[in-house]
Chains A and B, each alone.
Chain A
Amino acid sequence: MEITIFIILLPLLSFVFLGLAGKWLSHRAAGLFGTAVLGVVTILSYYTAYTYFTAPRLADGTFATLVPYNFQWLPLFLGAMKFNLGVLLDPISVMMLIVISTVSLMVHIYSFGYMHGERGFQRYYAFLSLFTMSMLGLVVATNIFQMYLFWELVGVSSYLLIGFYFTKAPAVAASKKAFIVTRFADLGFLIGILIYGFYVGTFDFVGPNTSAAVGGAKMIPLALGLMFIGGAGKSAMFPLHIWLPDAMEGPTPVSALIHAATMVVAGVYLVARMFPLFIAFAPNVLHIVAYVAAFTAFYAAAVAIAQTDIKRVLAFSTISQIGFMLVALGVCTSVEPEAGGLGYMAAMFHLFTHAMFKACLFLCAGCIIEQVHSNEMEMMGGMRKYMPITHIAFLFSCLAISGIPPFSGFFSKDEILSACFAFNPIMGWIMTAIAAMTAFYMFRLYYGIFWGKENIEHHTAHKPHEAPATMTIPLIILSVITFFFGWTVSFGHFISPNGKSFDSHLETSVAITSVVIAVLSILIARTMYRNEKQVLADSLQKRFKGLWTAAHHRFYIDEVYQFVTHRIIFGCVSRPIAWFDRHVVDGFFNFLAWSTNALSYQIRGFQSGEIQQYTYVFLIGTLLLILLLIL
């Protein structure tokens, strides 16, 4: 397994090479280099996964946790507390390797066509490599600090990629927002790490039964809660979600890579990584995670319904789906998959399937946007005629996300719903309702783009056509995975909360309910949006105008943030402090200088430079002295 180090080193190498030498490389060479390196990484990941999962299990039925590399990077001189870098392989990290490398490879290939001829092509590939590297480093982290390190790198690479079109003001603003919001959340993560390190005495992931963990049991819930804030930032949980919809300003493949499939699941991965501690010491925190996630899922779904920008719809759908995963993790009550621990596996499963179909959706969106040169749904409509492959791929992914069998999303979502019902029927029903909303807005999107009212005028001016092969091949591959993965792979065999293999099975009642509701939603969406004239939709939009406007403006959360940052932080804190500094602190020293000066000015009369005055004083002095002597 020593070879796994190259999974991280190769993209780093690619980043450094493309970053430094990119200027002298042609677009084609840079693209091919980046893609080739990532191809190797993907092969290595698959190889790693293959060898890892085919290796014999340990005696207790779990897969061995391998640490092929772990070296001290930054000494902290605190005994067991070290800042190590290394590679840790366990089922979830191996699974993440596959997800990340697959999606990233698809994006690399796709970008070759999508970014064709763009200025800064080499830079783009360099950043993609950096991003892939940081994400891979994050998942194989051997300790929480390494995770934080790569976590920050993920943040910065997203900053760089979102701000790729740095001459466009919205892109700059979006990149800034993404970085600052996640950075703010990372503060929670960092404090969580500090507390964790202090009370547990190490930064390693410790098992719940170790003495270190038990020693710090009192503070672990706090630490985990703070860490979850960091996770919530990256995973765009309410109210830290605001950066994600704006992040769509980056190139579309980047959205697919970062904001759909991989980066946003970092929070999910974090919770999954700390899952044993959550269950053992902080089940309440875990449930809070679930409530937050459920609310976010609902909120995002509601907003998604009212968006007209297709990438925004997808962005909110991502937030919603991440909410699903975190709900699944949050409703767990035990590490036994049969007794309340199903959610863990469900979350990972959904993470996997969601990565595939959401990447596919974004890449499709990219194809469409490139053809119509707009993100707005009203510029589209009737696209099925022009872009058949994209159409099918998009449809597959929509069906998957809506939870229609036999697409992969059905299986993972079903597991999540089962887990929710097992936890609490109310939670189950809520999530089912959100799933229905998902189906509705996805098909609203689907019909809006591919059917509905065609923007003939625009399409005759710029006749759309199918994207080139470099762009469609990734779509096909991802669709195929989406179609087959759910019923060919038994996910529970590989990933389960306690590490042992178990057979997941469909809960018939839940499955049927959810499918029926999803189909109903799709039908509603079909009647509303399929035709040229969308009477029902328009009238509904009119009737609930206030609600619609609020949802369209994302319930004004951004404005609240704007207010808080600009008015309160800058206006009421920073500016007064700057004023205070200039006028009070500095003023004090200036006052000192001034008063010294003024005093000198006053007493400089003694040093008038008038010889007569001096002699006069001298004379008086002499006279006084003489008087003193003679008296």
Chain B
Amino acid sequence: MEITIQTVVFLFLALFITLTSVLTVTTQRIVRSATYLLFTLFATAGIYFLLGYTFLGSVQMIVYAGGIMVLYVFSILLTSGRSDNVERIKNSRMFAVLAAVLGGAAILLFIYSKYQFLQVGDNKVTEVTIQSLGTNLMSSNKYGYLLPFEAISVFLLACIVGGIVIAQKEEDKK
């Protein structure tokens, strides 16, 4: 297997994702956790770019890294109590979870190894045009995604309203 720049980038991204995602869940402090998550998200965006899905990658960066992470950081600031930062995990619990997780991973990997993937795509990065994306998103023909799109829109609206209502300060009861 020749080593292309693509491979190098992928390896780098893969190692980076592995490292940061593991750190995300193992670090004791929530702020660090969030930071590692941010890195993971960036790296994921990188993967998308590598695959040639630039729009997806940018959405990932804008929405996730830009939007959601800000939310996280603010909510961490808002909710950080004194005792919340440091967590102690019971060993027994950790081992149980680890066993389950590793078991699960093993099963998944086993399945991957068994399954004959029919990899057809070449390594050429073919751009998915924004135009085709937009057309498909808004059309209602065979490959159209209008319905999910609208559904998502309504859903997002509901979430906005819901989020406001929930987080709203309770009025003083008289």
Contact = CB atoms under 8 A, between A and B. Distances in A.
A630 B107 contact: yes
Contacts of A626: 107, 111
Nearest to B111: A630
B96 A623 contact: no
Interface in B104-149: 104, 107, 110-111, 114
A154 B97 CA distance: 87
A616 B98 CA distance: 11
A620 B107 CA distance: 12
B97 A623 contact: no
Interface in A611-631: 616, 619-620, 623, 626-627, 630
A623 B110 contact: no
Given A620-B100, A630-B110, 15 more contacts: A616-B96, A616-B97, A616-B100, A619-B100, A619-B104, A623-B100, A623-B103, A623-B104, A623-B107, A626-B107, A626-B111, A627-B107, A630-B107, A630-B111, A630-B114
Contacts of B114: 630
A619 B104 CA distance: 9
Interface of A: 616, 619-620, 623, 626-627, 630
A619 B99 CA distance: 12
Nearest to A620: B100
A630 B107 CA distance: 9
Interface in B67-118: 96-97, 100, 103-104, 107, 110-111, 114
A596 B69 CA distance: 49
A494 B70 CA distance: 123
Question: Per DSSP, are chain B's interface residues mostly helix, strand or loop, or mixed?
Answer: helix
Nearest to B114: A630
A614 to B, nearest CB: 13
A626 B109 CA distance: 13
A326 to B, nearest CB: 87
A627 B110 CA distance: 10
B18 to A, nearest CB: 21
Contacts of A630: 107, 110-111, 114
B44 to A, nearest CB: 23
17 contacts: A616-B96, A616-B97, A616-B100, A619-B100, A619-B104, A620-B100, A623-B100, A623-B103, A623-B104, A623-B107, A626-B107, A626-B111, A627-B107, A630-B107, A630-B110, A630-B111, A630-B114
Contacts of A620: 100
A362 B150 CA distance: 110
Contacts of B100: 616, 619-620, 623
Contacts of B96: 616
A620 B99 CA distance: 10
Nearest to A622: B104
B95 to A, nearest CB: 12
A212 B97 CA distance: 92
Contacts of B97: 616
Interface in B15-57: none
A78 B100 CA distance: 81
Contacts of B104: 619, 623
Most chain A C-beta atoms within 10 Å of own C-beta, residue among B97, B107, B110, B111:
B107
A619 B100 CA distance: 8
Contacts of A619: 100, 104
Nearest to A617: B100
Contacts of B107: 623, 626-627, 630
Most chain B C-beta atoms within 10 Å of own C-beta, residue among A616, A623, A630:
A623
A626 B108 CA distance: 9
A620 B104 CA distance: 9
Nearest to A627: B107
A616 B111 CA distance: 21
A630 B112 CA distance: 12
B102 to A, nearest CB: 11
Nearest to A626: B107
Nearest to A613: B93
A491 B100 CA distance: 113
A616 B110 CA distance: 21
A507 B111 CA distance: 130
A161 B96 CA distance: 86
A58 B53 CA distance: 134
B99 to A, nearest CB: 10
Contacts of B110: 630
Contacts of A627: 107
